[in-house]
């Protein structure tokens, strides 16, 4: 019997356990409820659910499913069952466990659960980490709490500059500091406290600080955001788990590890970033806020430092700082740095991205589209079910001049949907309008917004006579400037109702309100993009309305423009080394380098870049 039991020992993962809303305590409860025990008992064919000990089960994922074809909306769980614990608390369960048959995607035996293990240990500086590479001296330092995990075997620690304190720069700094590098984190914007005041001045008094705004400053572009932590790079991979656990370590709620669609919201991101900063400083990282990297210092084909200027007093404060390597984590709004890279003959390759408009509905409309009868349960983020979101996508076709149709089919999809959020300005110059969405953790605002964007490629840039590595950047800028002109200046955004946009007309009737605080102006948004992009948007919106009847509504307002969905260029780098293929000592990372799209993927890229740089400087070995 012992042998047979051993075969079943360890963890079993039970997936797709659906609990109807009326039997679930609600979105904020992440434990094992009676309703969930009933579903577990069903899978185990265990006759009395209440006899199952809740301690033997751990919820590892909880999502809300309100798809229309379901009989009723439900919470869907993935649960891990610890067989040893279960049998020690309820030995009679053995008769049922021993009958359990694995079923792919539903019931799986996982003798070893997927854990972020070593990665999380390294980035937090915990013990039990690759002991083989830890020297006595570094262990001594670690005990003193004064240094990172490893000590460079040679006399001098490598001096590394990390440029940009977005997710990629923060995680690269964290890993490098833990490995004992001498890290300086250089950020053109301000720490979150001052950045908050600067954003306040923008929203209330229309004063844009060009170096401290929604894109630039501590935490990068994602700080004043919805803080969605969904990623397409594999939710359960060790690296994503390591990022999520690090966020929890710095103050994010543990629920993000379980929630099927985790998000933080700006109010949670700000204290989290303060803790992150404190931790880096404790590790010995020097942080320079308000300092912009204006140039790279290059000697003999190798980066040897950076030229920086003070964001406030640029004329009188320009300095040259020497480094052994530079991690470039500047995001994709730092267009000036792309010019700098070109001046050093560094390869930049244009890549496809997407442009479009941001649509905003009253949140109540989206709640009732998605939940019908359950909409009242939302209660502005305090109710049982999550504030409703949506995701729509269409492989649409539009006529591109005389080209055959199949050559011009494009994707149109919703992007960065912010339930209970607001539309914000993410341009960094008064002459350019570009928008995005943010929210607070409760997602309690009256509005729901999302970008609707259409893929664009070199062919589109060529059509506007834009060529060369920065053609995509010029393409973005063209529409941002058009939007600014149509708004009439002062950061006013041009808007059009969806119904008018579909009919290509501008009504004189009153506009629905907008969450955008700097003002909106009625305009015909057909005048912004080339006809094939506009037509693709029109066709797709009609298709989205078939999927979500009511999506086309008089209350829905389109805002122009959304252009910075992902980087318009990629900076080629070595697959394993992360080093630029055209300049030694330069490590391009994150979204601006074309290797990430979103908070989590940027953090993962920064983390791996940190490992790669550490390896290149002999701070760790191949085991990582």
Residue 276 in the binding site for ligand FAD (CB under 6 A): no
Give the residue, chosen from 138, 151, 168, 414, that forms a contact with ligand FAD under the rule CB under 6 A. 168
Chain Cα centroid distance, residue 75: 24
Q: How many other CB atoms sit within 10 Å of the CB of residue 108?
A: 15
- Measured at the CA of 477, the angle between CA 473 and CA 483, to 5 degrees, comes to 150
Q: Which 8-state DSSP code applies to residue 231?
A: -
Residue 331 in the binding site for ligand FAD (CB under 6 A): yes
Q: What are phi and psi of 603, to 5 degrees?
A: -60, -40
Residue 259 in the binding site for ligand FAD (CB under 6 A): no
Residue 256 in the binding site for ligand FAD (CB under 6 A): no
Q: Which is nearer to ligand FAD, 79 or 416 (CB)?
A: 416
Q: Which part of the chain contacts ligand FAD (CB under 6 A), choosing from 54-62, 158-166, 234-242, 368-376?
A: 158-166
Say how far apart CA 18 and CA 40 lie, in whole Å: 10
Instruction: Indicate the length of the chain as a whole number.
Output: 624
Give the residue, chosen from 35, 166, 290, 398, that forms a contact with ligand FAD under the rule CB under 6 A. 166
Say how far apart CA 181 and CA 157 lie, in whole Å: 6
Q: Residue 54: which of 81, 18, 16 has the closest Cα?
A: 81
Q: How many separate helices (H) and strands (E) can be counted in the chain?
A: 17, 23
Residue 568 in the binding site for ligand FAD (CB under 6 A): no
Q: Which is nearer to ligand FAD, 44 or 215 (CB)?
A: 215
Residue 52 in the binding site for ligand FAD (CB under 6 A): no
Q: Does residue 591 contact residue 567 with C-beta atoms inside 8 Å?
A: yes
Say how far apart CA 280 and CA 175 lie, in whole Å: 10
Q: Which part of the chain contacts ligand FAD (CB under 6 A), choosing from 131-139, 187-195, 244-252, 375-383?
A: 187-195
Residue 350 in the binding site for ligand FAD (CB under 6 A): no
Q: Residue 354: which of 540, 515, 491 has the closest Cα?
A: 540
Q: Which part of the chain contacts ligand FAD (CB under 6 A), choosing from 57-65, 233-241, 244-252, 325-333?
A: 325-333
CB of 602 to ligand FAD, least distance (A): 3
CB of 587 to ligand FAD, least distance (A): 13
Q: Which is nearer to ligand FAD, 225 or 455 (CB)?
A: 225
- Size of residue set near ligand FAD by CB under 6 A: 43
Q: Which part of the chain contacts ligand FAD (CB under 6 A), choosing from 12-20, 185-193, 341-349, 503-511?
A: 185-193
CB of 419 to ligand FAD, least distance (A): 11
Residue 39 in the binding site for ligand FAD (CB under 6 A): no
Q: Which is nearer to ligand FAD, 23 or 235 (CB)?
A: 235
Q: What are phi and psi of 493, to 5 degrees?
A: -100, 135
CB of 346 to ligand FAD, least distance (A): 14
Residue 293 in the binding site for ligand FAD (CB under 6 A): yes
What's the order of all strands across the beta sheet hosting 557-562?
393-396, 410-418, 447-456, 353-362, 557-562, 493-497, 520-522
Give the residue, chosen from 93, 330, 366, 619, that forms a contact with ligand FAD under the rule CB under 6 A. 330
CB of 595 to ligand FAD, least distance (A): 8
Fill in the per-residue mask, 427 to 456: x = in contact with ligand FAD (CB under 6 A), - = not in contact.
---------x-x------------------
User: Given CA atoms 375, 380, 385, 388 in this order, what sign does their dihedral have?
Assistant: positive
Residue 188 in the binding site for ligand FAD (CB under 6 A): yes
Residue 386 in the binding site for ligand FAD (CB under 6 A): no
Residue 469 in the binding site for ligand FAD (CB under 6 A): no
Residue 184 in the binding site for ligand FAD (CB under 6 A): no
Own/partner pairs for 252-260, CB < 8 Å, 24+ apart?
Answer: 254/30, 255/28, 255/30, 256/229, 257/60, 258/30, 258/59, 258/60, 258/61, 258/62, 259/30, 259/61, 259/62, 259/63, 260/61, 260/62, 260/63, 260/64, 260/76
CB of 86 to ligand FAD, least distance (A): 37
Please count the CA atoms within 13 angstroms of the CA of 497 that sit on its side-chain side.
17
Give the residue, chosen from 66, 79, 183, 334, that forms a contact with ligand FAD under the rule CB under 6 A. 334
CB of 211 to ligand FAD, least distance (A): 7
Q: Residue 162: which of 620, 610, 623 has the closest Cα?
A: 610
| CA distances in angstroms from 244 to 174, 263, 272, listed in the order given | 14, 11, 12
Q: Which part of the chain contacts ligand FAD (CB under 6 A), choosing from 125-133, 224-232, 319-327, 463-471?
A: 224-232
Fill in the per-residue mask, 394 to 433: x = in contact with ligand FAD (CB under 6 A), - = not in contact.
----------------------x-------x-x-------
Say how far apart CA 160 and CA 324 lie, in whole Å: 6
Residue 150 in the binding site for ligand FAD (CB under 6 A): no
Q: Which is nearer to ligand FAD, 9 or 230 (CB)?
A: 230
Burial (CB count within 10 angstroms: exposed 0-12, middle 13-18, buried 19+), residue 145: exposed
Q: Does residue 584 contact residue 379 with C-beta atoms inside 8 Å?
A: no
What is the enclosing helix (H) or strand (E) of 11? strand 11-20
CB of 258 to ligand FAD, least distance (A): 18
Residue 151 in the binding site for ligand FAD (CB under 6 A): no
Q: Which 8-state DSSP code applies to residue 434?
A: -
CB of 580 to ligand FAD, least distance (A): 16
- Measured at the CA of 479, the angle between CA 475 and CA 483, to 5 degrees, comes to 165
Give the residue, chosen from 169, 290, 356, 610, that forms a contact with ligand FAD under the rule CB under 6 A. 169
Q: Which is nearer to ligand FAD, 309 or 497 (CB)?
A: 309
Q: Where are the beta strands (DSSP E) in 375-514?
A: 393-396, 410-418, 421-425, 435-439, 447-456, 493-497
Residue 491 in the binding site for ligand FAD (CB under 6 A): no
Report the interface residues with ligand FAD, using CB under 6 A.
163-169, 186-189, 214-217, 220-222, 224-228, 292-293, 329-331, 334, 337, 416, 424, 426, 436, 438, 590-592, 596-599, 602
């Amino acid at each position: 019997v012992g042998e047979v039991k051993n075969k079943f020992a360890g963890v079993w993962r039970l997936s797709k356990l659906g609990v109807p809303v009326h039997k679930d305590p609600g979105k904020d409860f992440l434990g094992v409820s009676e309703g969930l025990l009933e579903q577990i008992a069903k899978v185990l064919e265990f006759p009395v659910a209440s006899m199952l000990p809740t301690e033997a089960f751990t919820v590892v994922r909880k999502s809300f499913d309100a798809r229309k074809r379901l009989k009723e909306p439900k919470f869907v769980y993935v649960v891990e069952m610890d067989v040893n614990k279960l049998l020690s608390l309820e030995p009679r369960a053995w008769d049922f466990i021993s009958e359990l048959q694995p079923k792919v995607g539903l019931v799986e035996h996982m003798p070893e659960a997927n854990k972020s293990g070593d990665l999380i240990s390294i980035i937090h500086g915990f013990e039990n980490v690759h002991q083989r590479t830890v020297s006595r001296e570094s262990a001594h330092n670690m005990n003193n709490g004064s240094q990172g995990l490893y000590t460079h075997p040679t006399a001098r620690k490598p001096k590394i500059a990390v440029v940009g304190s977005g997710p990629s720069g923060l995680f690269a700094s964290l890993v490098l500091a833990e490995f004992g590098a001498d890290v300086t984190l250089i950020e053109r914007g301000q720490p979150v406290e001052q950045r908050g005041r600067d954003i306040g001045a923008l929203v209330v008094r229309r004063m844009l600080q060009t170096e401290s705004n929604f894109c630039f400053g501590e935490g990068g572009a994602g700080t004043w955001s919805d803080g969605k932590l969904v990623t397409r790079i594999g939710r359960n991979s060790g690296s994503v788990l390591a990022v999520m656990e690090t966020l929890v370590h710095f103050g994010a709620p543990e629920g993000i590890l379980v929630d099927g669609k985790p998000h933080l919201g700006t109010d949670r991101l700000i204290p989290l970033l303060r803790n992150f900063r404190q931790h880096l400083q404790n590790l010995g990282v020097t942080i320079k806020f308000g300092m912009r990297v204006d140039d790279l210092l290059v000697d003999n084909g190798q980066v040897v430092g950076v030229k920086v200027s003070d964001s406030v007093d640029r004329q009188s404060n320009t300095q040259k700082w020497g480094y052994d390597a530079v991690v470039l984590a500047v995001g994709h709004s730092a267009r000036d740095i792309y010019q700098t890279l070109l001046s050093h003959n560094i390869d930049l390759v244009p890549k496809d991205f997407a442009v479009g408009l941001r649509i905003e509905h009253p949140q109540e409309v989206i709640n009732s589209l998605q939940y019908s009868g359950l909409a009242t349960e939302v209660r502005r983020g305090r109710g049982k079910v999550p504030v409703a979101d949506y995701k729509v996508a269409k492989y649409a076709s539009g006529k591109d001049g005389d080209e055959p149709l199949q050559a011009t089919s494009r994707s149109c999809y919703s992007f960065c949907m912010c339930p209970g959020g607001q539309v914000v300005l993410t341009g960094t110059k008064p002459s350019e309008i570009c928008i995005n969405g943010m929210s607070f953790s409760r997602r309690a605002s009256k509005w729901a917004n999302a970008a609707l964007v259409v893929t664009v490629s070199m062919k589109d840039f060529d059509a506007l006579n834009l060529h060369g590595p920065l053609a995509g950047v010029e393409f973005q800028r063209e529409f941002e400037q058009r939007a600014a002109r149509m708004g009439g200046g002062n950061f006013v955004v041009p808007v059009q109702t969806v119904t008018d946009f579909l009919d290509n007309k501008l009504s004189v009737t009153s506009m629905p309100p907008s969450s955008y605080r700097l003002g909106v102006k009625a305009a015909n948004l057909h005048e912004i993009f080339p006809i094939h992009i506009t037509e693709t948007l029109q066709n797709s919106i009609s298709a989205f309305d078939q999927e979500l009847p009511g999506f086309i509504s008089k209350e829905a307002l389109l805002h122009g423009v959304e252009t910075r969905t992902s980087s318009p260029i990629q900076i080629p780098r070595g697959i394993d080394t992360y080093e630029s293929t055209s300049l030694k000592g330069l490590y391009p990372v994150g979204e601006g380098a074309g290797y990430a799209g979103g908070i989590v993927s940027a953090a993962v890229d920064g983390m791996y870049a940190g490992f790669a740089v550490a390896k290149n400087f002999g701070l760790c070995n191949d085991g990582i």
